[in-house]
Amino acid sequence: MAVRELLSSPAGAGLATILALFLGLAFLVIARGRKRSDSPGKASTGPVIHVNTNGHVEQGQPLLSPPGQRGLILYGTQTGTAERFAKSLRSQLERRYGEGGWKFVAVDTENYLAPQQLAKEKFVLLLMATYGDGEPTDSAVDFYDWAVEKAESGDDASLLQDVNYGVFALGNRQYEHFCAVGQRLHGALADLGARPVIECGLGDDDVDIDADFDGWTVSLLEALDRSALLGAATDKEQDASAIDAFEVVAVETGSVNGSVNGSVNGSVAHPDDAFAAPVLAVKELHSAASDRSCVHVELDLTGSGISYEVGDHVAVRPRNSAAVVEAAAKALGYDVEQVVLFRASPAGEAPPFAGPVAVRDALATAADLLGPPSKAALATLAAFAGDDAQAARLRALASPEGKDEYHAYVIAAKRSLLEVLQEFTSSRPPLGAFFASVADRLQPRYYSISSSARADAARLSITCVVVEEWMPSGRLHRGVASHFLAALRPGLDRVPIAVRRSTFKPPAGAAAARVPIVMVGPGTGIAPFRGFLQERQAALDAGEGPLAPATLFFGCRREDTDFIYRDELEAAVLGGALSSLHVAFSRKAAAKDYVQHHLARQADAVWAALGPAGNGTLYVCGDAAGMARDVNAAICEIAARGLGTDRAGGEAWLREATASGRVHRDIW
Ligand SMILES: Cc1cc2nc3c(=O)[nH]c(=O)nc-3n(C[C@H](O)[C@H](O)[C@H](O)COP(=O)(O)OP(=O)(O)OC[C@H]3O[C@@H](n4cnc5c(N)ncnc54)[C@H](O)[C@@H]3O)c2cc1C
Ligand SMILES: Cc1cc2nc3c(=O)[nH]c(=O)nc-3n(C[C@H](O)[C@H](O)[C@H](O)COP(=O)(O)O)c2cc1C
Ligand SMILES: *[C@@H]1O[C@H](CO)[C@@H](O)[C@H](O)[C@H]1NC(C)=O
Ligand SMILES: *[C@@H]1O[C@H](CO)[C@@H](O)[C@H](O)[C@H]1NC(C)=O
Ligand SMILES: *[C@@H]1O[C@H](CO)[C@@H](O)[C@H](O)[C@H]1NC(C)=O
Ligand SMILES: *[C@@H]1O[C@H](CO)[C@@H](O)[C@H](O)[C@H]1NC(C)=O
């Protein structure tokens, strides 16, 4: 809670905590190109926490506790998972060790001055996600670089001798550098003399990262109890008065100024404002014979000041559907028409909206209603439950001992916060508590831009598959952002967006004529390659040809259902932007046919492009679930054959090609 107080002070500063994920990151370069100083429109980062020797922050606000009794939870996040874990951990630790005088704060690494502060801490937990090719999130670059360089310098082996620490690394085993950032920091802190209280936790987003985190948390609590580092554990039941809540003031309806939907003239110079892009077109890409839906959405960038390059990502701030908002308001007993003003909570958490907002818009834009409720959320709901049995059940689910129950009821069942609200009807937290201590913030969703600004700088397109999934809890989950996008009305609606740079770029300039490319993008993995092809066509039109060969491997279920952009791809082959197109239809025959099978069949051509004869570049894009791994394996086989060595030789080749920037992945 203390940190909320720290972050909330100067006007707008606390906004960073809420908007950083979405907007603060929007203009930074990821992965290799990640130099904050030279990125366009450096994001506002919010205030830096700097505690001086008498325990005061720079702005002169008192800290709730001196660093000596302060447990610091630092997180480095891009899509919110690490932040969610940090907040959940903070509330668990607060309940368990708060009575002994310890206070816990969860801070984004970008708001923490490690060089001045870290050595003074007694207890630090790091929750760090890995991106790119084993790189930190934009928000953690400074922290990471400082720690790693300090450790490598080797002359400060006792710098952090008073620090006890633990690291939970977030990652995905589909990537070569699995959890690299967390693991690297775990080692760096040890090299600087800090004492680990627990082994580095590894969270795999490909399987069940929540379960990994819960398992690590249990071990952490056991280790803390054994060491008595934070004193004896108490499991203080959370009573309603101790729960952090925003102050909420009802205001007149006329006072809403609309910023909730993004600024109409938002610009890259003000990353706090998403640009509310007008919708130009929404087209279904699947045929009527398909049982799924995939939409092509075109947005108008005119006057936005936003520029993008092929391969960049666009962040979309979605709204929960009207039905979901109504259901949540009903379960909570809120009046959706009421206009309210949120003010900082007593503990200082910055409010989700700067200005007045209708409850309907607040629930639609800021509350993750369909995601799984955190343990902290359940603990808060328990505190407000009027029915004792319901309160007891919620408390049990939220307790460390209830780990398996929580896993079964929330994680395995993929239960949503909304379902929990509908089941535990006796718990009706007030609006201020709901937004501060129950609902996670609704996160922006990222999409690989599927157009080329060179072809049309004022248009940006998204290729989005509409998520519809039966959950084990029995509900049909309608993906929040994909349904939001699919329901947009051209000419009427606007979408709050921001662009995030990526390093997923085709060879440009002279390299475009020299470097062959192999693109692998099944399903919506085609998105950035549509942009690549538009870019190549524009280069040909401008007389920059001939270009080096480009080969595309696409995959879908059936020719007559989801062969998206077929006409465009065939036209690209005829027009010369694409040299060859290979399409795998997974459900055409009894035997599954995927892109990796086509890669294997085209081994000679692929090796001609990627091997020493071509020194080309490989691009892989799409849904992670297995595809990237299978494609990797196919490429290793091809390399092994081409080099006349064994599988290990092929793997070594792929590692080297990846390290030298000749393999790029855009996987989600
Ligand atoms: C860098 C990047 C690029 C991307 N590019 C594209 C692209 O070009 N095209 C594209 O279509 N997508 C892309 N995505 C994916 C996209 O960002 C979204 O994740 C996708 O559209 C689904 O969002 P949604 O809000 O519709 O679904 P959500 O509502 O977020 O649901 C998505 C999934 O989350 C899980 N889930 C939801 N609720 C729960 C719950 N209560 N408990 C447990 N699990 C739950 C389910 O598995 C569900 O299927 C990209 C992602 C990234 C990170
Ligand atoms: C574009 C992209 C690149 C990623 N690169 C890696 C990687 O190199 N290594 C890894 O272990 N995980 C990687 N991941 C997985 C994330 O680290 C993982 O999903 C994590 O849970 C994200 O945490 P966050 O929500 O806090 O940002 C990547 C994810 C994306 C979307
Ligand atoms: C925001 O947009 C939604 C959906 O388009 C609309 O219903 C709502 O009234 C808007 N809110 C404001 C404050 O403009
Ligand atoms: C755009 O924003 C600027 C500065 O925030 C403001 O002065 C101006 O009136 C806005 N223009 C429109 C058309 O909203
Ligand atoms: C909306 O109103 C609030 C408070 O009145 C103000 O802080 C905010 O800047 C306004 N936003 C816009 C876009 O005018
Ligand atoms: C590819 O790179 C290798 C090693 O750098 C070099 O020997 C070879 O000539 C290059 N091939 C082409 C076609 O440029």
pLDDT in tens, 366-393: 999 999 998 889 999 999 999 999 999 9
Q: Is the pLDDT of residue 43 over 50?
A: no
- Express as a percent the part of the chain with pLDDT over 70: 85
Comparison of pLDDT for 470 and 590, the residue scoring more: 470
Cα(315) to centroid(ligand 2), Å: 16
Tokens found for residue 263: 């600024």
pLDDT of res. 533: 98
pLDDT confidence tier of residue 210, bands split at 50, 70 and 90? confident
| Residue 453 identity (one-letter amino acid) | A
pLDDT confidence tier of residue 361, bands split at 50, 70 and 90? very high
Active-site residues: which are they? Answer: 448, 621, 666, 668
Q: Is 130 in the pocket of ligand 2 (CB under 6 A)?
A: yes
pLDDT digits (tens, 9 = 90+) for 409-446: 998 999 999 999 999 999 999 999 999 999 988 888 99
CA distance 49 to 117: 9
What is the pLDDT averaged over residues 467-483?
Answer: 97
* CA Rg value for the chain: 25
Least confident of 106-115, 360-369, 426-435, 504-513: 106-115
CA distance 225 to 232: 7
Q: Where are the beta strands (DSSP E) in 328-402?
A: 339-343, 357-358
What is the pLDDT averaged over residues 249-254?
Answer: 83
- Closest ligand 2 atom to residue 75 Cα is 26
Q: Is 491 in the pocket of ligand 6 (CB under 6 A)?
A: no
What is the pLDDT averaged over residues 491-504?
Answer: 91
pLDDT of res. 57: 30
pLDDT digits (tens, 9 = 90+) for 272-285: 468 889 999 999 99
Tokens found for residue 337: 């028409």
Residue 114 has a CB neighbour count (10 Å cut-off) of 17
Q: Are 48 and 58 spatial neighbours (Cβ–Cβ below 8 Å)?
A: yes
CA distance 603 to 600: 5
Give the residue carrying structure tokens 């793997």.
Answer: 651
Instruction: Pick the ligand that lies closest to the CA of residue 258.
Output: 3
pTM: 0.81
Q: Is the pLDDT of residue 313 over 70?
A: yes
Cα dist. 256→74, 267, 272, 337 in Å? 35, 21, 18, 11
Asked if the peptide bond before residue 549 counts as cis, ω within 30 degrees of 0, the response is no
Q: Which residues line ligand 4 (CB under 6 A)?
A: 264-265
Q: Is the pLDDT of residue 646 over 70?
A: yes
Q: Is 257 in the pocket of ligand 5 (CB under 6 A)?
A: yes
Q: Is the pLDDT of residue 608 over 50?
A: yes
Cα(132) to centroid(ligand 2), Å: 8
Comparison of pLDDT for 187 and 154, the residue scoring more: 187
DSSP strand pairing (201-204 vs 195-196)? unpaired
Comparison of pLDDT for 577 and 623, the residue scoring more: 577
pLDDT of res. 95: 80
Q: Is the pLDDT of residue 59 over 60?
A: no
Instruction: Pick the ligand that lies closest to the CA of residue 266.
Output: 4
Cα(263) to centroid(ligand 4), Å: 9
pLDDT confidence tier of residue 39, bands split at 50, 70 and 90? very low
Q: Is 615 in the pocket of ligand 6 (CB under 6 A)?
A: yes
Q: What is the mean pLDDT of the chain?
A: 86
pLDDT of res. 376: 86
Cα(16) to centroid(ligand 1), Å: 24
Burial 616-636 (b: 16+ CB within 10 A, else e): bbbbbbbebeebbbebbbbbb
- Closest ligand 1 atom to residue 527 Cα is 8
pLDDT of res. 179: 97
pLDDT confidence tier of residue 258, bands split at 50, 70 and 90? low
Alpha helix ranges (H) inside 373-430: 375-384, 388-398, 403-406, 417-423
- Nearby residues of 228 by Cβ (< 8 Å), 6 or more positions away: none
Pick from 21, 19, 487, 65: which is nearest to 279 by CA? 487
Q: Is the pLDDT of residue 147 over 80?
A: yes
What is the pLDDT averaged over residues 548-558?
Answer: 97
Cα 344 to chain center, whole Å?
25
Cα(128) to centroid(ligand 2), Å: 10
